[in-house]
Structure 1
Amino acid sequence: MAEYRVQKVLADQGICSRREAERLIAAGKVKVNGHPITLGDKMDPDYDKVMIDGKTVRIVRKRQYTYIMLHKPRGYLTTRADDRGRKTVMELVADVPAMLRPVGRLDKDSEGLLLMTDDGAFINMLTHPSGGVGKLYRVTVNPRATEQQIIEMSSGVVLDDGVKTQPCVIHVVVDEPGRSVLEITLHEGRNRQIR
């Protein structure tokens, strides 16, 4: 009889993100076996019944997940929905019959490989810093990046919100007058860390 936090079960099932599950639990909208729960409560997905807003949630015991490698073009937001009506990556996978979520983020002006899946445990393993999975970015810098700038960034920089980033690995691919091409490996995903 294995028990897991309810928000983890809901996220692993692709019902909602872990944060959304936590919000629903805090708002008193989630019940297990007919009883309201609090954040951190556990359940056995093989035996317990879950309800959200009075509706039973079907927990699939053995499940096949969907994994997609998507080349995200510039101009698309990496989010499931945008309240301002901007284009999102979900439009690019609208024909896929699964409740996909992006694994990590690429900002609107970036392009590159974006993994998408309905496997919440896989998403958490890749995106949580404790997983130790690096994220590789190829960046063109105009004008050319100086050696001092590369040293400073690789040892961690303070962002606009006052938080210092973890050290990263920077490999100079192209170094010519007017531009540098860098490969940057990050082990955290702070908003606009590279920009």
Structure 2
Amino acid sequence: MERLQKVIAQAGIASRRKAEELIAEGKVKVNGKIVRELGTKVSANDKVEVNEIPLEREEKIYILMYKPRGVISAVKDDKNRKVVIDFLPEIKERVYPIGRLDYDTSGLLLLTNDGEFANLLMHPRYEINKTYVAKIKGIPSRQSLKQLEKGVKLEDGITAPAKAKLLSADKKTQKSIVELTIHEGKNRQVRRMFEAIGHPVQKLKRERYAFLNLHSLNAGESRELSPHEVKQLRALAETGTGLQ
């Protein structure tokens, strides 16, 4: 059971606030009867009409995509740059990204048309792990890696504890590969964290999101999450075990 105004909003008819106005104005029917109560809840079997037009409810869909570099994590872009939706022409539902990856960052991105699910995963309180692999300038010391793990001071606050691991280092080129796991979602956070310890990022990829990875996918490819994977993600968020 979901609130009527939420169902209308999810169907793309109007914003939730506008949907509340439509209900109050008597322009919404449930099973043939006008409903004005904002607290009304409906099930998938109820017939909802807005301005005498039957509501078509989209089936919930959950997608895992390997976002390429040079692509915007959005449904559309006012500068006509390529967006992630351009890689999903076969998807008829109106999906949108859960969170975002920067234009120059590649890797695992989730998309859905389930607003409640998206909000659950994006809320920092639920601590969903996100693991990145960064190619950086210089070779970080053990102390610098510990600083990443303890938390670094950024202009919008100190970052939460993280996990950092040096994967490789090339003394000749003075470049390194570092794996960093965080559960926050500050703007350009990973890049800013490395800049804060004096090792700017040259290339960045999100390898994992909770237990999900990019196995068998190439850049630009995607797959639907299984019902079990969706259930697992909900459980991780709701129980606060996303860091395990």
Question: Partner of 1:135 in structure 2?
Answer: 130
Cα distance between partner residues in 1 of 2:129 and 2:61:
22
Output aligned runs, 1:86-165, within 5 Å: 86-160=81-155, 162-165=156-159
Pair 1:45 & 2:39 matched: no
Contact (CA 8 Å) 1:32, 1:48: kept in 2 or not? no
Cα RMSD (Å) of the superposition?
A: 3.1
Pair 1:70 & 2:65 matched: yes
Opposite residue 82 of structure 1, the aligned amino acid is D
What CA deviation, in whole Å up to 9, does each residue of 1:11-41 have, x standing for no partner? 6x3639xxx946xx2xx674253349xxxx7
Opposite residue 77 of structure 1, the aligned amino acid is I
Cα distance between partner residues in 2 of 1:77 and 1:103:
13
Instruction: Identify, as 1 or 2, the structure richer in helix.
Output: 2
- Which of 31, 54, 65 is the matching residue for 2:21? 31
Contact (CA 8 Å) 1:45, 1:59: kept in 2 or not? no
Contact (CA 8 Å) 2:8, 2:55: kept in 1 or not? no
The unaligned stretches of length 5 or more in structure 2 are: 27-37, 192-244
Larger RCO, structure (CA 8 Å, separation 6 or more): 2
For normalisation by structure 1, the TM-score amounts to 0.73
Change in Cα spacing, 1:5 to 1:33, as seen in structure 2 (3 Å) is closer
Cα distance between partner residues in 1 of 2:90 and 2:47:
33
Cα distance between partner residues in 1 of 2:3 and 2:179:
38
Q: Which of these two proteins has the greater Rg computed from alpha carbons?
A: 2
Change in Cα spacing, 1:55 to 1:104, as seen in structure 2 (3 Å) is farther
Change in Cα spacing, 1:133 to 1:15, as seen in structure 2 (3 Å) is farther
Cα distance between partner residues in 2 of 1:129 and 1:188:
6
Number of residues of Structure 1 aligned to a counterpart in Structure 2: 176
Contact (CA 8 Å) 1:14, 1:118: kept in 2 or not? no
Opposite residue 70 of structure 2, the aligned amino acid is G
- Which of 177, 185, 200 is the matching residue for 1:181? 177
Cα distance between partner residues in 1 of 2:49 and 2:21:
6
Cα distance between partner residues in 2 of 1:5 and 1:131:
27
Cα distance between partner residues in 1 of 2:166 and 2:11:
39
The unaligned stretches of length 5 or more in structure 1 are: none
